Chains A and B, each alone.
Chain A
Amino acid sequence: MNRPDETEPGVTVTIQEIHRIAALARVRLDQGEAKRMAREMSSILEHMAVLSGVAPEPAPTSGVPQGEGSTRPFGEASDRSGPPAGEGATTPDPLERPLARIAPDWRDGLFIVPRLPGVAGAPGERKSSS
């Protein structure tokens, strides 16, 4: 995952890269700090390499729960025989329907947007006399 221009054995993030990132992050590092950061970040990123083994699937953008909890409230009567939940089973996306069905108006694959009031051609707009 890293560039090969190493500066020390086992250090895969170079000091030049550290300075480049620090400039992007608006943090100033002296040479000693940069060297230490390069060593530490190389070590940390080495552990991150395991992420290359993750099978790609759609990712959430936050931890916000998407729907009603999938379990019954403990202590209340419930039916445990709900839908089977095999490996990789996902909840249907409620927005997964043809766009044309949720569009207010739709023509040739495009949304038709009402004109804003005051713009020529808007509903009820009086033609200006010149």
Chain B
Amino acid sequence: MKANAGGVAARAAEVRNGKLAWGSMAAQALEAHGTWERGPAPLNAFIAVDANADRQRGPRDGPLAGIPVAVKDNLATAGFPTTCGSRILEEFRSPYEATAVRRLRGAGAVIVGKTNMDEFAMGSSTENSAFGPTRNPWHAERVPGGSSGGSAAAVAAGIVPVAVGSDTGGSVRQPASFCGVVGIKPTYGRVSRYGLVAFASSLDQVGALGRTVRDAATLLEVLSGHDPRDATSVNRPVPPLTAACDRGVRGLVVGVPREYFPAGLDPVVRRLAEHALGALEGAGAELREVSLPHTRYAIPAYYIIAPAEASSNLARYDGVRFGRRCREADTTERLYELSRSEGFGTEVKRRILLGTYALSAGYYDAYYGRAQEARAAVARDFERTFRDGVDVLFTPTAPTPAFKLGERIHDPYQMYLSDVFTVTANLAGVPAISVPIGLAEGLPVGGQLMAAHWREDTLLTAAAALEAELGTVGSPPVPSGAGAA
């Protein structure tokens, strides 16, 4: 039996009422992980796995009782390393646990492992991991997206029913799209960032991935809520998110921003997106064409602001306070330089340099100042659109299906363009979700919905309706010859 049959809420209920043994789903997850790793093209979705996860104990009365969950390796987790996919943190074990992980444990979840990711969440393909790339379960020569590629691949492969990721510019939604699963980035401030290793603090947000909208909603409901340990966590009630999946979209106004359907959009992605819009309209939603005119500034603004914040956040990795320490350095200055140079990968160095450049004297106004103005303009576009009566916006999640491993790794700007439809939600701080809308030559394609601040419930209503109309894209074939879980 698959670990997610019936959805996580139903399976947790079975554990609570004694119909299902506590560790049975975790044992299935470990077996499925072994199946994929023994196959001809190992997924490499995990950096660390607890081989005894089925013996972990926790409260049996929680909404995730006995549910195996994978956690992205940039969330501090007791009993596991927290590497961020980087050599510089290869041996690092956090002395404390992230609030998101504590909430999972409090809800009865079993943490089966830490998932692979682009180093410090900088990437869109999970090829930037110091521990090797993750493969897409649908096609071994394709990327799973990134930076939460390990989490998305683990869910798509049926290893775990739900997983936690983080989303700074689309890092939950784009891999969800590439792997045919659901991924939601909540409103900035909805989920605590305490214990999430900082990349770009004004953009980072913990997100949820699941096989279905309802599963993702169940996980997000557990993760959400105020945390006094995170100054950006907002103290406001969390609406019932799973209940929102049942509302239906009759009368819902769906905005279709023309800037997200450019002439050069992949024709299959366009066709599937238009089909999805038709499905929403068929379910009773009203479609309305809208314009978000500052969208063209989003990628340049994001790739100035995020590296600028990263250059500051990553200054702490100096060989003294955290992680890897160069043993050959003879002065303090050389210790810093050599530890960082040996510990960071190419993309992280590139972004640190880009951020340092954008913040340096003579360039600050031209780059960082302008990028902040662009960010404000993007946010105003959203504010105006939602105030004008649009409930949700619908766009493709990514301009293409999953691309080939190695195809973009040597062209940074092409890689950055993978995020062209997702970074705007981070710049504006609004919630957004990716839902599978079909297959293009065997590769999943996702559709993105975005809503106003704190309207995750509306977002999930629309996403669940879309899922109900289109159905899921199914599961990738389990590798043959290794024995199915």
- The answer to the question of B453 belonging to the interface, with a C-beta cut-off of 8 Å to chain A, is yes
How many residues on chain B are close to A (CB under 8 Å)? 74
Interface of B is mostly: helix
A74 touches B337 (CB 8 A): no
What is B's interface to A at a CB cutoff of 8 Å? 187-189, 201-203, 232, 234, 239, 247, 252, 294, 296-297, 299-301, 303-304, 311, 315, 318, 333, 336-338, 340-341, 344, 349-350, 352-354, 356-357, 360, 363, 366-367, 369-377, 379-380, 383-384, 386-391, 412-413, 416, 426-429, 451-455, 457-458, 461
How far apart are the CA atoms of A114 and B264 in the complex, in Å?
64
How far apart are the CA atoms of A64 and B230 in the complex, in Å?
12
- Choose among B234, B252, B294, B458 the residue that contacts A65 (Cβ–Cβ < 8 A): B234
How far apart are the CA atoms of A130 and B296 in the complex, in Å?
73
Q: List 13 A-B contacts (CB under 8 A).
A: A26-B318, A26-B333, A27-B344, A28-B337, A51-B367, A65-B189, A69-B453, A71-B452, A71-B458, A73-B457, A74-B252, A74-B391, A75-B247
- Choose among A48, A59, A70 the residue that contacts B376 (Cβ–Cβ < 8 A): A59
A18 touches B452 (CB 8 A): no
How far apart are the CA atoms of A69 and B437 in the complex, in Å?
28
B340 touches A43 (CB 8 A): no
Minimum CB–CB distance from A13 to chain B (whole Å) comes to 7
- Choose among B232, B376, B413 the residue that contacts A58 (Cβ–Cβ < 8 A): B376
Chain A 68-82 interface residues, beta-carbon cutoff 8 Å to B: 68-71, 73-75, 80, 82
- Enumerate the 8 nearest inter-chain pairs by beta-carbon distance, A residue then B residue, closest first: A63-B429, A59-B372, A62-B202, A65-B453, A51-B370, A63-B188, A74-B458, A85-B387
Known contacts A1-B367, A26-B340, A29-B341, then 18 further A-B pairs from the complex at CB < 8 Å, ordered by chain A residue? A26-B318, A27-B344, A28-B341, A33-B349, A41-B354, A43-B413, A44-B416, A45-B357, A48-B304, A59-B376, A64-B188, A65-B234, A70-B387, A70-B452, A71-B455, A75-B461, A87-B384, A88-B380
A50-B297, A51-B371, A65-B454 given; A60·B413 CB < 8 A = no
- The answer to the question of A5 belonging to the interface, with a C-beta cut-off of 8 Å to chain B, is no
How far apart are the CA atoms of A13 and B352 in the complex, in Å?
15
Minimum CB–CB distance from B323 to chain A (whole Å) comes to 15
- Choose among B300, B341, B387 the residue that contacts A51 (Cβ–Cβ < 8 A): B300
B391 touches A25 (CB 8 A): no
How far apart are the CA atoms of A47 and B417 in the complex, in Å?
11
A60 touches B375 (CB 8 A): yes
A25 touches B387 (CB 8 A): no
How far apart are the CA atoms of A49 and B391 in the complex, in Å?
33
Minimum CB–CB distance from B430 to chain A (whole Å) comes to 8
A55-B373, A62-B188, A85-B384 given; A47·B300 CB < 8 A = yes
Q: With a CB–CB cut-off of 8 A, which chain B residues contact A51?
A: 297, 300-301, 304, 366-367, 370-371, 373-374
Q: With a CB–CB cut-off of 8 A, which chain B residues contact A61?
A: 202, 372
A62 touches B350 (CB 8 A): no
- The answer to the question of A22 belonging to the interface, with a C-beta cut-off of 8 Å to chain B, is yes
Give a binary string over A9-47; 1 marks a CB under 8 Å from any B CB, 0 the rest. Answer: 000010001100110111111000100010011011101
How far apart are the CA atoms of A58 and B338 in the complex, in Å?
40
How far apart are the CA atoms of A87 and B387 in the complex, in Å?
11
- The answer to the question of A129 belonging to the interface, with a C-beta cut-off of 8 Å to chain B, is no
Q: With a CB–CB cut-off of 8 A, which chain A residues contact B363?
A: 1
Q: With a CB–CB cut-off of 8 A, which chain B residues contact A128?
A: none
A89 touches B353 (CB 8 A): no
B300 touches A48 (CB 8 A): yes
A40 touches B296 (CB 8 A): no
How far apart are the CA atoms of A33 and B457 in the complex, in Å?
48
Minimum CB–CB distance from A80 to chain B (whole Å) comes to 5
How far apart are the CA atoms of A37 and B133 in the complex, in Å?
23
How far apart are the CA atoms of A33 and B338 in the complex, in Å?
15
A27-B340, A50-B300, A64-B188 given; A74·B461 CB < 8 A = yes
